[in-house]
Amino acid sequence: MKQIENLHFESKQVHAGHLDDEYGSAAVPIYQTSTFRFRDADQGAACFAGADKGFIYTRIANPTIKALEDNISQLEGGFGGIATSSGMAAATTLYIALLGQNQHIISTDAIYGPARGVIENHFSRFGVHYSYVDTSEPDNIIKSIRKNSRVLYIETPANPTMSLTDLSKCCEIARKYGLVLVVDNTFCSPFLQNPLSFGADVVFHSVTKFINGHADVVGGIIITRTEELYKKIRPVMVSMGCCMDPHQAYLVLRGVKTLSIRVERAQQNAMQIASFLMDHPKVAWIKYPGLETHPQHDLAKKQMRGFGSMLSFGLKGGFKAGKKLMNSVKLSTLAVSLGGVETLIQHPASMTHASIPQNEKLKAGITDDLVRYSVGIENINDLINDLEQALEKV
C-alpha cells in the first residue's frame, strides 16, 4: 500500500487505500466474489479467530470494499471505515449499535427526512426515545439532555435548511454529558469539513452524493475516531448484512479521485447563483453559507474549508410559485439526491421530508415554499440563464 501520511488532500483522494495486487493494477480491481478460498484448514481457522487478516466472505469484508473504507477513513482522519449498502444503512447501523431500549437520542431537527423518520416510526416501537431540536443553538441541546441520553446526532449544514451547528461546542457538550457525537457530513464531504478533527466520535456519509458524485451509485460509509467504536459498530453492519457490493465500492473509488475538483467547481457556481438569486425580485429569501446574510456565515468560515454547493431559497409566490419554477427549468434536473456533477432541484416538503408531520416540518424550518438546489459543474452562464427563464414564468 502506498505511503500517503504526509500528502495533501488532493493526492490522498487519488492514492489512499490503493491495493498492490500481483498484477500491478493501477486501479483497485473489482473482487466480485462472495467467498474466498483458504490456503488450508489452519488458515481458515485463523481467519475466523481474527489471527489472520485474510478475507472470508464479502458480507464480512472484501478487498475492493476495504480499499474504499481505508481511503475515506484517511480523508476524514479516522481509525477505520465501515462501508454500507446505502446512506440509510449507515444511519440505521449507527442507531442499532449506539442505542438501546429506553435510551434517548438528541438530533438536529432538519436532518435528512428518512434518517429522522426511521427513529420516529420504527425505533420508537422498540423503546428508543428522541428529541429533535434546533442544534444551531447549543442551549437547545443542553436543555434536551436526559439521564438516559446516549447519542447526539447532528447534520451540518442541515438538510435542507442550510442551518449550521457548531462542531466545537457540540464536542464539549458530548464530552461533558457522556454522549456519543455522530455527525452526518454528507453535505460537506471530507474535502470541506472533518468533524473528527474537532473531536466528534463518528462521522458518516451517503457516498451516493459528493463522494461518488456521478448519480450512479447508492452507498454509505461510517468512519470512527477510535478503535473501540469501530469494533462496536462494524459487527452490527456485518450481522445486519447491509454491506456494500464490490462493484459499488469500485465506482465510488473512481468518483472520489475527482472529489476536490468537482466540489471546487460546483461551489464556485453556487456562490454566483446565490448572488443572482439574492438580488432577484421574485426571490423571498435565500440560505447559503457563503453569503454574509447567512446567520452562521462566520461559523461556516471557522469550521468549513469552503461553503459547498447546496443552497435553499423561497419564492414570493410560495409553494405554487416554487412548483412553477421546478416545472420550468430546462437544464437543472427535477430530482432528489444531491452532490453530483449535474444540477438538481427539488421540493423537500413534498418529497424528501414528506414523511415528517407538517407541524414538525415548520418547526424545523422546512416551509412549503422551500426549494432545495444542488449546484453542479455545468457552465455558470447556462445555469443562471436557465434559472432566469424559469423565474420569468413564475
Catalytic residues, which ones?
A: 59, 112, 184, 209
* C-alpha dist (Å) from residue 356 to 91, 284, 320, 364, 367: 17, 24, 20, 10, 12
Grouping H, G, I as helix, E, B as strand and the rest as coil, residue 314 is strand
8 A C-beta contact, residue 341 and residue 262: yes
Q: Which of 67, 91, 81, 64 is nearest to 17 (CA)?
A: 67
- The 10 Å Cβ neighbour count of residue 250 is 21
Strand partners, 206: 220
Alpha carbons 163 and 108: distance in angstroms, whole number: 10
Residue in the structure block whose three cell numbers are 440505521: 92
The type of residue at 254 is R
User: In sequence order, what are the residues at sequence separation of 6 or more whose Cβ sits closer than 8 angstroms to the Cβ of residue 169?
Assistant: 138
Nearest to 364 by CA among 106, 119, 134: 134
Please tell me whether residue 325 adopts helix, strand or coil conformation: helix
Cβ proximity of 101 and 234 under 8 Å? no
Pull the grid cell for residue 19: 491495493
